[in-house]
Amino acid sequence: MADQTNNNGCTLHQFRRNRYFYGKLMSVRDFETEQSYINDKRHLLNRMIHGAGIIRGFSNMALKNDGGAVEIVFNTGGTALDCCGNEIVVSGDGLSVPVYNGAVPLTAALLATGTYYLYLNYNETEAESVSAIVNPSSCEEKCCNNRIVESFTVTAVTTPPTTSTIDCTDVDAGKQTALELKRWVLKQSGSIRNCDDQSVFLAAVTANLNIPPGSSVNSDNFVDADTTLTYRPVIYNNQLLSQLISCHITDPNPHDMMKGIQAEGQGVDNVNGYVTLAATDSITLDADSGNHTVTVGESHSAVAGNPHQTVHSQLQGILAADGSIVTDTTADKHITHQQAGRWDSAIYKINGMVPKADTGNFTISGGTNVTVTASTNKVTISSTASGGLEKDLTTFAVNWQHGQQMSLDEFISRMLNQDFVLEFSNTVTQLADNTVFSFALMVPYVEDQDKLRFFMSRLQYLNGNVGPQPGSQTSSMHYFLDEVTAEELFGYLHSVMDVLKINERKQMLRVMIQVKCDFIPDVAGRAVAGHHLLGNGKSGLNVNGSDNLQGGLFESWIDLVQ
């Protein structure tokens, strides 16, 4: 058999008790065995029958700041059982104990920095020191503690408690309920839970709780009620269980099964948990006890003929296409044969307009870009528009190659000579007040942060207009008028290229060119077609040879090299 003295009372073991006989010499070990036997038996019953958790009490507590250390005050006491069956008894009446965070007291400063969870821990201490004879053959004495106090400690941690769930399998209605309940109980009690952590969760403290020195906060203000309710384990004693069972038995409908049915705002109460469904008129009810279903149907749709005896004069707002059918009163269907044939094909109103009186017809005609084609039992309405495209819009071409590489000197020279030219297919109007041309520099990334800030401060669009080229013989030749002089631009570009060279960057400096064609009208008042495809250096979509779309943003670029 296992030695009772070598286990913590929390694992299953066989018990040993004293066997008394005449002349037996009793030692301290024998008396300790007597106590352990009684205590361990009680703890076993607590653990196996009652479980672990709060039994009662702990409704009125407080946390106080005592010189920077946190203490908990129990204004009302309480009892609890840990998972080893130890009874934790708190007397209350203002009992104040320190709260530990591990092996050290919890400070108010630490409590204000997070969320803490309070636990009760069973603890035994020795008390009542008395004199004891050390050696029976001498008069030597020493002091020993005469009592063991079954006490407790309170600890605080930041890790939330773990929760366990029960597999509440539904009872199979096809089996005997008693056997199903017994099977479920055997399944739940088939294993014994380990007790690795004997602490009992007490309460969750409100996050970042601040307690000023010398002050206290009662449980209404420091306990996180929702979290505490979620995690706190509760032991239901016999009195509480008896009350719950009594409430359940005396409630005629404890599971709220079909309390009633709401019909058109009128409540229908049940009788003994049942509501009787009644069929009327064309409504049918088909009950299937085996499948526990009631099918609600109707018999009206299967009735042949004209059950409502409806004639044309009874229909409101219906205009007959043929006036002669008004006198046809043969009603062997929901409507007469003639009525069905003509009413189904007649149009009563379109946008409030009635059809022609003598024929009941509407005439459909085509408007701008719309054609109407009639054929047998069909009218086809088509559009002749080109989906937003227009013919013979103004386009333009540029005198540089899109995406070409160009030396910095050549670029500046062409700027000085006003040699970046747009050649429009038709005459355009100069709009000096509208910014229609812009270019920007795409500077590659430089690791030197000072240089990077320099680039970023200058990385912006420089705007200008499109104006007539000086000396041009036609109003279709225009060039770029930028806001900075070529000399300023030349100096800036050279500085950028030098920085790239110093940083051994091989990337080219790209000049982005944009023309905002929405702001360039031709002599006909239409915006220049700026949409372009494939980067061919010409504007316009060139759909079907001449169809284009007004406006748009024309984009091109030139890569500068030294």
Q: Which pLDDT belongs to residue 505? A: 54
Q: Is 401 within 8 Å of 537 (Cβ atoms)?
A: yes
Q: Lowest mean pLDDT: which of 159-168, 194-203, 328-337? A: 328-337
DSSP 8-state code for residue 517: G
**What's the pLDDT band for 544 if we cut at 50, 70, 90?**
confident
The reply to whether 480 and 423 lie within a common domain is yes
Q: Is 397 within 8 Å of 423 (Cβ atoms)?
A: yes
Q: Which pLDDT belongs to residue 17? A: 93
Q: Is 61 within 8 Å of 219 (Cβ atoms)?
A: yes
The reply to whether 13 and 76 lie within a common domain is no
Asked if the structure places residue 110 within a domain, the reply is: yes
Distances (CA, A) of 463 to 395, 409, 413, 480, 537: 21, 22, 19, 10, 20
Q: Which pLDDT belongs to residue 169? A: 59
The reply to whether 26 and 77 lie within a common domain is no
Q: How many helices (H) and strands (E) does the chain have?
A: 10, 27
Q: Which single residue is written with the structure tokens 């006890």? A: 289
**Which of 320, 351, 382 represents a domain boundary (last residue)?**
351
DSSP 8-state code for residue 470: T
Asked if the structure places residue 114 within a domain, the reply is: yes
The reply to whether 394 and 410 lie within a common domain is yes
The reply to whether 204 and 96 lie within a common domain is yes
Beta bridge mates, 143 = 131
Element (H, E) at 177: helix 177-188
Is pLDDT larger for residue 130 or for residue 420?
A: 130
Q: Which pLDDT belongs to residue 147? A: 92
The reply to whether 85 and 197 lie within a common domain is yes
Does 335 have pLDDT greater than 90?
no
Is the C-alpha dihedral spanning 152, 153, 154, 160 positive or negative?
negative
Q: Which single residue is written with the structure tokens 């812009």? A: 438
Asked if the structure places residue 261 within a domain, the reply is: no
Phi, psi for residue 348 in degrees, rounded to 5: -80, -55
Coil/strand/helix, residue 220? helix
Q: Which pLDDT belongs to residue 208? A: 93
Q: Is 416 within 8 Å of 408 (Cβ atoms)?
A: no
Tell me how far apart the alpha carbons of residues 137 and 140 are, in angstroms, rounded to a whole number.
Answer: 9
Q: Which pLDDT belongs to residue 384? A: 63
Q: Is 384 within 8 Å of 540 (Cβ atoms)?
A: no
Element (H, E) at 143: strand 141-157
Q: Lowest mean pLDDT: which of 191-200, 304-313, 518-527? A: 304-313
- Which among 494, 547, 515 has a CA at the least distance from the CA of 438? 515
Q: Which single residue is written with the structure tokens 């297919």? A: 425
pLDDT tens digits along 83-127: 999 999 999 889 999 999 999 999 999 999 999 999 999 999 999
- Which among 120, 117, 98 has a CA at the least distance from the CA of 107? 98
Beta bridge mates, 477 = 423
Does 540 have pLDDT greater than 80?
yes
Domain containing 111: what range? 53-161+181-238
Phi, psi for residue 63 in degrees, rounded to 5: -110, 135
Q: Which pLDDT belongs to residue 60? A: 94
Coil/strand/helix, residue 322? coil
Query: Which of 199-208, 301-310, 369-378, 445-454 shows the highest mean pLDDT?
Result: 199-208
Is pLDDT larger for residue 106 or for residue 140?
A: 106
Q: Which pLDDT belongs to residue 70? A: 95
- Which among 59, 53, 76, 69 has a CA at the least distance from the CA of 108? 69
**What's the pLDDT band for 213 if we cut at 50, 70, 90?**
very high
The reply to whether 192 and 68 lie within a common domain is yes
Query: Crossing angle of helices 486-502/449-458, nearest 10°?
Result: 160
Is the entire prediction scored with pTM above 0.85? Answer: no
Q: Which single residue is written with the structure tokens 């300023």? A: 488
The reply to whether 10 and 113 lie within a common domain is no
Q: Which single residue is written with the structure tokens 């109103």? A: 349
Q: Letter for the amino acid at 92?
A: G
**What's the pLDDT band for 451 if we cut at 50, 70, 90?**
very low
The number of residues in the chain equals 562
The reply to whether 46 and 65 lie within a common domain is no
Does 430 have pLDDT greater than 80?
no
Q: Lowest mean pLDDT: which of 156-160, 426-430, 500-504, 507-511? A: 500-504
- Which among 354, 384, 360, 467 has a CA at the least distance from the CA of 418? 467
Mean pLDDT of the chain: 76
Query: Structurally, how many domains does the chain consist of?
Result: 4
Does 21 have pLDDT greater than 80?
yes
Coil/strand/helix, residue 214? coil
pLDDT tens digits along 89-100: 999 889 999 999
Terminal alpha carbon distance of the chain: 97
- Which among 209, 199, 223, 240 has a CA at the least distance from the CA of 58? 223
The reply to whether 439 and 547 lie within a common domain is yes
Is pLDDT larger for residue 448 or for residue 552?
A: 552
DSSP sequence for 370-405: EEEEEETTEEEEEE---TT-EES---EEESS-TT-E
Q: Which pLDDT belongs to residue 79? A: 95
Tokens at residue 223, please? 């306990």
Distances (CA, A) of 437 to 325, 376, 396, 549, 556: 74, 58, 14, 19, 12
**Which of 192, 211, 238 represents a domain boundary (last residue)?**
238
Average pLDDT in the 469-497 region? 61
Q: What's 227-266 look like in SS3?
A: HHHHHCCECCCHHHHHHHHHHHHHCCCCCCCCCEEEECCE
Tell me how far apart the alpha carbons of residues 366 and 428 are, in angstroms, rounded to a whole number.
Answer: 36
Does 135 have pLDDT greater than 80?
no
For residues 201, 203, 206, 212, the Cα torsion angle rounded to the nearest 10 degrees is -110
The reply to whether 444 and 515 lie within a common domain is yes
The reply to whether 13 and 87 lie within a common domain is no
Asked if the structure places residue 192 within a domain, the reply is: yes
Q: Which pLDDT belongs to residue 458? A: 38
